[in-house]
Amino acid sequence: MRYGIKVTPKDGKFEVTCRDIPECVYDADTEKEVLDLASQMLPGTLVIFYRKKQLPFPLPSRLRKGEVGIAVPARVQAKMLFWNFMKSKGLKISDVAKKLGVSHSEASRLVDLTRDSASIDTVEEALKKLGGSLDLSVKE
């Protein structure tokens, strides 16, 4: 999973924007710094603008010419997909906790994008128990 971002020189700095996540706008002194910043800040941006508002995460569209792909770690991808599964089923974290027989904080870890709090295996098991599945793929 890669989000396409565009790097543009602006006012002596470099600015990064993302079509799929319009709230993702950062600037830095160098192109490398702005790319690193975007990569580090992407999960937090998704949490602030989507998860906290109980909205599904926008998934990346195909890269367009002039865009750079920012890779999302597999663990974060799994949590994003779990969150979107929850939203598609109208489930809240409290519902997931109840259905899985776990605490609210344990269920919250399944969708915590900013911490290494639940493994892909844990997310996959939770999805299975809720009637879903997780599929991974490799792309060149």
Query: Residue 122, Cα to own-chain centre: how many angstroms?
Result: 17
Q: Report how far residue 84's alpha carbon sits from residue 90's, in angstroms, rounded to the nearest whole number.
A: 10
Answering whether pTM is above 0.75, one says: yes
Check residue 139 and give its pLDDT: 74
Q: What is the CATH number of domain 74-129?
A: 1.10.260
Tokens 């700095």 -> residue: 13
Residue 54 gets the label, from left (phi > 0), alpha (psi -120 to 50) or beta, of left
Tokens 């844990």 -> residue: 122
Q: Give me the architecture of the 2-71 domain, per CATH.
A: 2-Layer Sandwich (3.30)
Check residue 64 and give its pLDDT: 96
Check residue 33 and give its pLDDT: 95
Check residue 116 and give its pLDDT: 87
Residue extents of the structural domains in the chain: 2-71, 74-129
49-83 pLDDT, tens digit each:
999 999 999 999 999 999 999 999 999 999 999 99
Helix (H, G, I), strand (E, B) or coil at 28: strand
In angstroms, the Cα distances linking 25 to 14, 15, 20, 35 are 11, 7, 11, 11
The CB density around residue 69, as the number of other CB atoms within 10 Å, is 14
Strand 13-18's sheet: what is its strand order? 25-28, 13-18, 2-10, 68-71
Instruction: List the chain residues with pLDDT less than 50.
Output: none
In 16-130, where does DSSP find H-type helix?
A: 31-49, 74-88, 93-100, 104-109, 120-129
